[in-house]
């Protein structure tokens, strides 16, 4: 399986992924980055703050940047995927 590195950029600075991870392909690596972005923001929220300006760089085994997943787009996708609210009773 191909190996990917997921480097983090957010308010805490740059966190290089020193170990990396095997994923079936780029789509799976991007999915891992999206999950990771959400888990980082969830941890921040639990402590009472939220930084949506961060991003995760998905790099290949040579540490060449392939895709950048921003925290904001992950949140926007979550909002768009939210099911419609039921009608409000009057």
Partner 1 sequence: MIGEALLHHLTTFGTLGPDDAAAVLAIDGEVRSYGRDCDIIRSGDRPTYSVLALDGLLIRYSPRADGGRQVYGMYFPTDAPCLETLHTDIMDHNLTPAVETRVALIPHAVLYETMDRFPRVLSLIWRQTLVQASMFRAWLMRNSSQPAHAAMAHLFCECLRRTQAAGLARGNVCDLPVTQEVLADALGISLVHVNRTLQILRQTGAVSFRSGVLEVHDPAQLAGIADFDPHYLHLHR
Binding interface with partner 1 (CB under 8 A): 6, 8, 12, 15, 17-19, 21, 32-33, 35-40, 43, 46-47, 56
Q: How far is the CB of 29 from partner 1 (least distance, A)?
A: 10
Shortest Cβ 80–partner 1 spacing (Å): 21
Shortest Å, Cβ 15 to partner 1:
5
Distance CA 83, CA 12 (A): 33
- Give phi and psi for 37, each to the nearest 5: -60, -45
């Amino acid at each position: 399986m191909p190996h990917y590195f997921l480097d983090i950029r957010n308010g805490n600075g740059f966190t290089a992924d020193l170990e990396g991870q095997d994923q079936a392909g780029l789509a799976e690596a991007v999915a891992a980055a999206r999950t990771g972005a959400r888990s980082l923001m969830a941890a921040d929220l639990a402590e009472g703050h939220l930084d949506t300006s961060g991003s995760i760089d998905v790099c290949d085994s040579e540490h060449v940047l392939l895709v950048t997943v921003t925290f904001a787009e992950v949140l926007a996708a979550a909002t768009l995927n939210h099911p419609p609210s039921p009608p409000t009773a009057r």
